[in-house]
Amino acid sequence: METEGEEEEEKPSRTISLIDDFMEDGGFKLPKIDSAADYQPEFKPQIEEEKDDQTENGGVFTETLARIYIKQGKYERALDIISRLHAKHPGKSAYYGDQMRFLEKLIRNSKK
């Protein structure tokens, strides 16, 4: 019967033997690069559409921001954002058109 001390000694030796076997088999197979000049990191340029959404001060126009402005009662700002989104996404013209008409009514009613 093994004692606890013998079990503890067996675990590290098993781990070490596994590591040794791994190293003998060649370890990790990483691609070799002759020089640092040959290395070219993967580069993904930003999408041009992201730049279109930004204002002069770096803000981004989204439907979420328009909803926040509506909740704050800043209907003109929300209308500006929705009209920019309408121009950018003509496929959603019916949706944005309804939103713009709704905001125009809110603006008229808030000025009365």
Q: Are 82 and 99 in contact (CB under 8 A)?
A: yes
What's the pLDDT at 74?
93
Whether 22 shows a pLDDT value over 70: the answer reads yes
Q: Which residue(s) pair with 60 in the sheet?
A: 54
Residue 11 sits at the vertex; the CA angle it makes with 5 and 12, to the nearest 5 degrees, is 100
Average pLDDT of the chain to the nearest whole number: 76
Whether 16 shows a pLDDT value over 50: the answer reads yes
Q: Are 60 and 49 in contact (CB under 8 A)?
A: no
19 compared with 92, residue with greater pLDDT: 92
What's the pLDDT at 41?
62
Tokens (6 digits) for 89:
């996404």
Express each pLDDT in 70-108 by its tens digit: 999 999 999 999 999 998 888 888 999 999 999 999 999
